[in-house]
């Protein structure tokens, strides 16, 4: 990695200058420069070390520069410059950048040398309910992170922790048995829309009718005890839901391993028993709870992590504790990532604390992280809903995006006389529509809410999926015009070439940083900058019919490679005409 190579030079320079110092205490700080006039990278460690060493920062910087220059036999660094109180500006040589970019072009982009088992919990709809716009962010962000870790060479398990167990199923089974038993007998077809309608009616009846409530509770007991009729009804409900969700996952090109709450149900009693044996459980109003230091409610009272309710039932806290234990002990996860909205922050923090207290989670061996995100807003600044006030169905949102993309492409095709067929427009529209939805989400800081806008996300200008896709298409257009011309080695000479080459060379270090902070919007920013940098190169450096043609075609080829990898990590598909 480019940054690692330079960091190593500075580490050795500090060791040589101050051999008695512990470099773990004196960690080297090397960052990408914020402006070209500051070179390509900047080392700011001299200011940090001045208090420890008792030496002025410029004196420290001078010693480091001298040592780095003495070790620069490989010609990696072109120029070192001390600025201000002790900043060290680093400019790389064009020759080294050219060689580095050529290696990126001809070889597989390097992956991690320390692969880990990474479990990512995302999407997680509830069975017998429509996936709605609220599931969009978890699904898209989780898929992007899974693709990132897969690209980096990690062993990734993509888990869909669906809600497929509990009282809701007792209500629904009891309702169908009483009012629409033809579904269970196979005499009547059923889809998710009908299931949702039955669930709403069952919930209303459950709240208003004591006799039906008792019937629903008995159905839950029958399901938990493995009654064949109850299990058959439950399996039918799950399969209908599964087929509906799969339609969305196919459209979004997302792969998941389903492992719902029902998977962990047989483990719940044992988890509670284990926590009791370890002296962690306290009875509170008949419920079995774990009380964790530092967690209180609004009244300042201790906040319980409830493992078993007073009626003997379990809840999602029990299931989540069983799940994290299974992911560590059975799946051998070294990193567990929960892609869940910000509203679950307290629950997940308590889950991690409870798992540590129970001895399941050792933070020194396994990293458990909550990837939180805000909500999707409508034009009115409130949660995105339909005109009728209902939460927008995810399938409707996606098909509308595709339809609007098709309208835009059809109009552009007619205005610009592009000659695309109706079939081509339809195929490209599906890719553009889905890409636009994904990119609009991922390009926002996930911690913030964002306003959903078809008009903005489908623009061909600015930081949008269409803009990046068009840059990719432009490269293919250049290659088509070049035909069978031989591509030479990359040789960066013009300032625009060097700027583009540097940006391309920083691809892997950017991916590594996102693997740490789990912020996909930084990949979007990188790719947007790449597209703009490539456009500037194309403007300032003629590619075809010039002496530098073949080496510039090689640079185009590398840009295409990096752009494609980046888009694939975001979960976006590419096209070669548009």
**CATH code at position 65:** 3.30.1360.70
The confidence score (pLDDT) of residue 25 equals: 58
Cβ neighbours for 60, distance < 8 A, ≥ 6 positions apart: 17, 46, 49, 50, 53, 86
User: What is the pLDDT at residue 338?
Assistant: 98
Q: Collect all residues with Cβ–Cβ distance below 8 Å to 534 and sequence separation of at least 6.
A: 471, 474, 475, 500, 556, 559, 563
CATH code assigned at 310: 3.40.50.620
Q: Say if CB 187 and CB 287 are below 8 A apart.
A: no
**Do 235 and 281 sit in the same domain of this protein?**
no
DSSP assigned state of 74: G
| Residue 331 belongs to a domain | yes
The answer to whether residues 145 and 268 belong to one domain is yes
Question: What residues make up the domain containing 35?
Answer: 2-91
Pick from 226, 253, 280: which residue ends a domain? Answer: 253
Both 287 and 224 in a single domain?
no
Three-point CA angle 241, 328, 304, nearest 5° = 75
Per residue of the chain (578 residues), give pLDDT as tens: 888 889 989 989 988 888 877 655 567 888 999 888 899 999 998 888 888 888 999 999 999 999 999 988 889 999 999 999 999 999 999 999 999 999 999 998 878 889 999 999 999 999 998 898 878 999 999 999 999 999 999 999 999 999 998 888 999 999 999 999 899 888 899 999 999 999 999 999 999 999 999 999 899 888 888 889 899 999 999 999 999 999 999 999 999 999 999 999 999 999 999 999 999 999 999 999 999 999 998 888 999 999 998 888 888 999 999 999 999 999 999 999 999 999 999 999 999 999 999 999 999 999 999 999 998 888 878 877 665 556 778 999 999 999 999 999 999 998 888 888 999 999 999 999 999 999 999 999 999 988 888 999 999 999 999 999 999 999 999 999 987 667 789 999 999 999 999 999 999 999 999 999 999 999 999 999 999 999 999 999 999 999 999 999 999 999 999 999 999 999 999 999 88
Q: Is residue 52 part of a domain?
A: yes
Same domain as 284, residue 156:
yes
Q: Where are the alpha helices (DSSP H) in 385-490?
A: 394-415, 422-442, 454-457, 465-482
Q: For CA atoms 513, 517, 520, 524, give the dihedral sign.
A: negative
- Identify whether 155 is part of a domain: yes
β-pairing verdict for 376-377 and 450-451: parallel
Tokens read off for 457: 């996300």
Q: Same domain for 157 and 286? A: yes
Tell me 109's DSSP state. Answer: P
Using the 3D structure, point to which of 376, 403, 426 is the last residue of a domain: 376
3-state secondary structure of 302: strand
CB 463 within 8 A of CB 443: yes
CB atoms within 10 A of CB 443: 21
- Say if residue 308 is in the same domain as residue 324: yes
For residue 349, being part of any structural domain is answered with yes
Asked, for residue 576, whether it belongs to a domain, the answer is no
What is the maximal distance between C-alpha atoms in the chain?
87
> What's the CA gap between 360 and 354, in Å, rounded?
9
Q: Does residue 568 lie within any of the structural domains?
A: no
- Helical (H) or strand (E) element with 306: strand 302-308
Nearest partner of 71 among 15, 30, 32, judged by Cα: 15
Three-class HEC string of 327-373: HHHCCCCCEEEEECCHHHHHHHHHHHHHHHHCCCCCCCCCEEEEECC
Q: How many CB atoms lie within 10 A of CB 562?
A: 24
Give the Cα separation of 393 and 377 in Å (integer): 14
Which two three-digit tokens encode residue 487? 């591509």
Rounded to 5°, the CA angle 35-41-42 comes to 90
Domain end point (choices 253, 282, 303): 253
Q: What is the pTM of this model?
A: 0.93
Q: Is residue 131 part of a domain?
A: yes
Q: Locate tokens 């800081």: which residue? A: 445
User: What's 241-295 look like in SS3?
Assistant: HHHHHHHHHHHHCCCCEECCHHHHHHHHHHHHHHHHHCCCCEEECCEEEEEEEEE
Instruction: Please indicate, yes or no, whether residues 153 and 275 belong to a single structural domain of this protein.
Output: yes
Q: Is 491 inside a domain boundary?
A: no
Assess whether 191 and 128 both reside in one domain.
no
145 and 227 housed in the same domain? no
Do 185 and 294 belong together in one domain? Answer: no
Whether residues 210 and 346 fall in one domain:
no
d(CA 45, CA 398): 48
Per the structure, the count of domains in the chain is 3
Report d(CA 186, CA 236) in Å as an integer: 10
Q: Are residues 322 and 212 in the same domain?
A: no
How high is the pLDDT of residue 387? 56
CB 105 within 8 A of CB 490: yes
d(CA 165, CA 128): 11
């Amino acid at each position: 990695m480019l940054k690692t190579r330079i960091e190593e030079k500075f580490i050795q320079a500090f060791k040589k200058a101050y051999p008695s110092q512990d470099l773990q205490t004196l960690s080297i700080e090397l960052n990408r420069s914020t402006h070209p006039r500051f070179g390509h990278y900047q080392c700011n460690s001299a200011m940090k070390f001045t208090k420890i060493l008792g030496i002025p920062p410029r004196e420290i910087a001078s010693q480091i520069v001298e040592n780095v220059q003495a070790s620069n036999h490989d010609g990696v660094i072109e120029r070192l410059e001390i600025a201000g109180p002790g900043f060290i500006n680093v400019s790389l040589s064009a020759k080294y950048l050219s060689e580095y970019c050529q290696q990126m072009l001809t070889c597989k982009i390097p992956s991690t040398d320390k692969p880990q088992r990474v479990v990512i919990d995302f999407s997680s709809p509830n069975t017998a309910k429509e996936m709605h716009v609220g599931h969009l962010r978890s699904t898209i962000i989780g898929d992007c992170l899974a693709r990132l870790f897969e690209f980096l060479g990690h062993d990734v398990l993509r888990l869909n922790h669906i809600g497929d167990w509990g009282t809701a199923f007792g209500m629904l089974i009891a309702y169908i048995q009483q009012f629409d038993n033809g579904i269970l007998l196979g005499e009547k077809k059923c889809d998710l829309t009908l299931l949702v309608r039955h669930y709403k009616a069952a919930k209303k009846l459950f709240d208003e009718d004591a006799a039906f409530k008792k019937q629903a509770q008995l159905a839950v007991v029958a399901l938990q005890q493995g009654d064949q009729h109850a299990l058959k009804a439950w399996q039918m409900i799950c399969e209908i839901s599964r087929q509906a969700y799969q339609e969305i996952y196919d459209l979004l090109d997302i792969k998941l391993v389903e492992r719902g709450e029902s998977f962990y149900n047989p483990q719940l009693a044992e988890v509670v028993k284990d926590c009791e044996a370890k002296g962690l459980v306290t009875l509170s109003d008949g419920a079995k709870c774990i009380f964790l230091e530092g967690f209180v409610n609004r009244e300042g009272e201790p906040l319980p992590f409830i493992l078993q309710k007073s009626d003997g039932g379990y809840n999602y806290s029990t299931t989540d504790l069983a799940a994290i234990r299974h992911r560590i002990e059975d799946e051998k996860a070294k990193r567990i990532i929960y892609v869940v909205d910000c509203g679950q922050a307290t629950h997940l923090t308590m889950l991690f604390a409870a798992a540590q207290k129970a001895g399941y989670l050792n933070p020194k061996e396994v990293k458990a992280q909550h990837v939180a995100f805000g909500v999707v807003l409508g034009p009115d600044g409130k949660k995105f809903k339909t005109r009728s006030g209902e939460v927008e169905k995810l399938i409707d949102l996606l098909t509308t995006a595709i339809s609007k993309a098709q309208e835009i492409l059809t109009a552009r095709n007619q205005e610009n006389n592009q000659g695309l067929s109706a079939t081509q427009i339809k195929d490209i529209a599906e890719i553009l529509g889905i890409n636009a939805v994904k990119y609009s989400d991922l390009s926002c800081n996930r911690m913030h809410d964002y306003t959903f806008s078809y008009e903005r996300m489908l623009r061909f200008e600015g930081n949008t999926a269409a803009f990046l896709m068009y840059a990719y298409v432009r490269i293919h257009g250049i290659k088509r015009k070049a035909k069978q011309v031989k591509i030479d080695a990359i040789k960066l000479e013009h300032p625009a070439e060097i700027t583009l080459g540097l940006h391309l060379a920083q691809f892997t270090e950017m991916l590594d940083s996102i693997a740490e902070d789990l912020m996909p919007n930084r990949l979007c920013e990188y790719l947007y900058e790449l597209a703009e940098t490539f456009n500037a190169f194309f403007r300032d450096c003629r590619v075809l019919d010039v002496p530098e043609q073949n080496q510039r075609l090689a640079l185009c080829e590398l840009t295409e490679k990096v752009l494609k990898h980046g888009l694939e990590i975001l979960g976006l598909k590419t096209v070669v005409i548009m």
